[in-house]
Amino acid sequence: MARPASAVRAAVDDAVERYRLPGIAVGVVVDGQVQQVELRGETASGSGDAIARDTLFKIASNTKAMTAALLARQVDAGLLAWDDPVVKHLPGFRMHEDWVTREMQVRDLLVHNSGLGPGAGDLMLWPEPNAFTRDEVIAGLAHLKPRWSFRSRYAYDNTLYIVAGEVAAAAGGAPFDVLLRREVFEPLGLDSCRIGEWRVAEAGSVAAPHARRDGGWVARPDGEVVADMPMAAAGGVRCGLDDMLRWVQAWLDPETPGSDGAPWLSQTQREAAWTAHMPMPLSQRMRDWNRSHYYAYGHGWRLTDVDGTAKVSHTGTLSGMYSAVTLLPELGVGFVILINGNAGEARTVLEQALSRHFTAGASAGAGEQAPEAPRPSLVDHYAGLLAMERSMAAAEATTSDASAGTDPARRPATAGGMATWLGRYRDPWFGEVTVCAVDGGVRFASLKSPRLSGAVLLEGERLLVDFDTLGADADAWMEFSRGVEGGSARLVMAKVDPEADFSYDYEDLAFERVGDCS
């Protein structure tokens, strides 16, 4: 399926220009071959080090398909079965409800059907760095209360993929990172990909994540050593573009051999990976933009249709890096987007523009001539639609809040005004925090997640935390209450911005006062 390279190049240029991206790598596979590679920008803004085909990016949640593939290889080898109870491999595993613990199977770890709320437990994973261990994250699941019944609906999570990695380790008799290299990286020739602990100096070109500040990009490069992180199985892999394109080729070709010459993955497991195990909500945007009819989650992949053809994809978002892997298997097409900036909208519109570039032409009727290139700047077209969505949402919010008037200005809370509530508090899964007087004001500080620390402010009569190193979307309301019959004080929290990233799962916290400020 030959399609003009100029259209892909123009779309990448449009995205870079519109969003002023610090760096981006895009590659396209057609009919089993790498047809096109587009590289722009620098590994770190202002460094002069250009993005290359082997520059390592965080692929974040695109790791999930690799973790699922590792488990699939183990199923092929007879080391486990998808319907094995998780406790068969991890006897100490516990969910909040005993019957869920008993009934949860290995496949349930991969399809986001646990009944937990979106992103439950993510505060043990980020913001990075923090001091939570993998064992602590898994133990924390026993204290996370479900929001819905088990297997009743879809809600995205990361913590159960960490459990999946430990199931693989137990079944395979080796740590997760060792198994992923042996069963996924090495057979497919993903030579630059990194997992576990590794040294930056030995890895070659490494992209730094970037955040927006004062209208520009600020890089946050790694230290000398990248540590093995608890969330490795959920989002800890880094790869270069060439290796991600090999990953795409392996999925588009069912006969891809492993290192022993036999198929790397059986047809049965390929079909299981792309089976709609859990329905997902089909948004109006997907209906309008793509004429989609279904949306579901497989084993580490999202499944839908675009212009009448199947689409298998996933995205990744982690600490200033965004990725996307998109497969159109019926067209023999796949592409990869890697961005080293906090650029969610850029990824959305570029992924959409590239998808439609291939699907719109393929869906043209026999008597129609497929366009030689996308409509003038599909990137701008979809960016405009997103702007329209935001404008409509803002208008609705303004209308609904009109009677409330302008929000009162924020002001620092005082130690005297909060004397009743000062102290040390503990949550069963998140651990200890302090709400203590500092220089006449009050600060909230987490013992195990140091970036979750900031000044306590008043907005009207409500208390909130303004975290020092996080954006405004991370702010959290604080609500204190007295314990029943003279018991210890309680603290619950919630997002100030209801549309903030679900990984700020403050709503799952339930603190109880355990002592005085030291």
User: In sequence order, what are the beta bridge partners of 455?
Assistant: 443, 466
| pLDDT bucket at 369, cuts 50 / 70 / 90 | very low
- The answer to which of 23-37, 50-64, 465-479 has the lowest mean pLDDT is 465-479
| pLDDT bucket at 372, cuts 50 / 70 / 90 | very low
Q: Where are any strands of DSSP class E within 120-256?
A: 198-199, 210-213, 216-219, 225-226, 238-239
User: In sequence order, what are the beta bridge partners of 58?
Assistant: 238
Residues in the chain: 518
* Distance between CA atoms of residues 258 and 246, nearest Å: 12
Whether the upstream peptide bond of residue 187 has omega within 30° of 0, thus cis, is no
* Distance between CA atoms of residues 162 and 140, nearest Å: 12
Select the more confidently predicted residue: 394 or 182: 182
**pLDDT the model gives residue 208:** 97
Summarize pLDDT for 442-483 with one digit per residue, the tens: 999 999 999 999 999 999 999 999 999 888 889 999 999 997
Task: Tell whether the model's pLDDT for residue 57 goes beyond 90.
Answer: yes
- Would you list the DSSP string of 369-425? PPPSS-STTHHHHHHHHHHHHHHHHHHHHHHHHGGG-SPPPEEE--TTTTTTT-EEE
**pLDDT the model gives residue 1:** 55
Q: Using CB atoms within 10 A of its CB, is residue 201 exposed (0-12), middle (13-18) or buried (19+)? A: exposed
Task: Tell whether the model's pLDDT for residue 41 goes beyond 50.
Answer: yes
Select the more confidently predicted residue: 128 or 99: 99
Taking the model in full, what pTM does it have?
0.94
**pLDDT the model gives residue 473:** 87
Summarize pLDDT for 399-420 with one digit per residue, the tens: 655 444 445 689 999 999 999 9
Closest CA to 141 of 120, 125, 167, 166: 120
**Segment 321-326 mean pLDDT:** 98
Q: What is the 3-state secondary structure (H, E, C) of 228-275?
A: CCCCHHHHCCEECHHHHHHHHHHHHCCCCECCCCCECCCHHHHHHHCC
Task: Tell whether the model's pLDDT for residue 381 goes beyond 60.
Answer: yes
